[in-house]
Structure 1
């Protein structure tokens, strides 16, 4: 049976996101009744959990209560974003209510955030999606608590008098190597998002018209050994470049991304890989322009369950765009050439999203 949770709009000030559950949370009841998901589906978990949901004009708020009889034993490990160490709570939100896609927000007991875009009814979890949201945690005598603030601008939904969204909340108890869920979904069920419980009560909110413009200016100065006769090795070099990245929500479901002379210097570097065969290395996409709507452009040529690599088997592999040139000119002893480390991208645009009839679009 599909569970339902009924939220309501906040009356008065919004909760302060600090991990302390103040009086504003008393406006809605706790959702309880978690059951073990792994390792023994359907049994009572070692520790119970609960959550509450509130909203205002711009944000969705989630409060967690993770009971623990031994608060000193709660595993609170620090790590980088999108790594889920120790104990954590997670909410998956199917704001499209298409029963196939969802937005996942994970917060560990140590305050580490993780986020993923879920597609293909739970078969594809993309950690490269990095929305803007906030969360804080606190340990007390009953276990640990958390507060989460998710701007509506980070979700995708249609305009309607009342929203009905799919939701699932999961807890990981690291000490017991156990995961429990609010909406029971057997690991043997064929799907994930299509079995979510429902969130009711969000009324009269406007899908935000998202507009983001991020200009940049980069200066670069280099000093190196001068080589006589080489016009490209004069001993020093200075360059100045500028560009911008933009995102415009044409509707609540359709996004236009564009970039002019992009600079991806802020992107996390790829790990070092040594290969002794003649095949190409395949790395996950981390550049913001290529991440939006990535699931629409993913056309795997083989199934990962059969041993395929999710990036290596894609028909469209975006990391080839802007990669280093493969050709190196054959030069005479007195000839010189400047070989760039990367191919310049003068500009690019992408149109992606989902129609009200459930069709995904990517151009």
Structure 2
């Protein structure tokens, strides 16, 4: 239904250039029909795209960057991500032809300091110019979210905590931990003995109370050391707070990872599905992340969660590397401005 309306809009506006998301391949076709050049914007990043293009163009050939090689569980997640795209309702042949023929440039939301070699390889595979548009987090204006009473309470709670000794735990808005994962995460945090703020979300229609969601006695045992927040918290403000010493993340949203790097916060990676394992391996390669390893059954366990959290928060090595990467990205931004 969107295509005819979009086509009419493009015809009416006659833009000089159309920028569209990688998953809207049909937009390139519409642009081509109106003799308008188009450029793809790739929010998922050059690493995952280079991996997928490699699989399509060189099937059976080993990916040339072993640092992000996927194990059997992670590969299943990535294949599922590819299948979602392939099975989407679209005119694949015509749209792919329009994409490859009409796009000479691909914009990526990153920087060469983070993904340079993967950009170069993607350019080689696609015969297109890959242009990084930089980190989309404005350090000069970190506190631009709307505050409510809950936000004020969260920030007041953080103000009373020691520098770098609190972890922020959030798995995004599209992945929901199951009961077993919640229990392992909760006991892992309890065993780590660090202060934490945890944003918990449930699927629509499956909402439950805090006491019901967590292991028996967990809330009482952690007491003031832990703060549980339902649904939403001001992430940018939290990550930019001096008490935060680590970010437990599924590595699903590249903007969240960039925020963490830009604010100098080490990441504890717990990738759950889709492109998250590859995102995690990329930032591990950069030295700004420690990944929580799954067991032989592909599950996260409390002991490993606890160990990695303590290693990141108590140690200084990862924080130092994040600071170095943060400065290199800032210097590149200053040279461009």
Q: Same fold (TM over 0.5)?
A: no
How does the TM-score come out when normalised to structure 1? 0.27
How does the TM-score come out when normalised to structure 2? 0.29
Q: More strand per residue: 1 or 2?
A: 1
**Highest RCO, 1 vs 2 (Cα 8 Å, sep ≥ 6):** 2
Find the structure with the greater CA-based Rg.
1
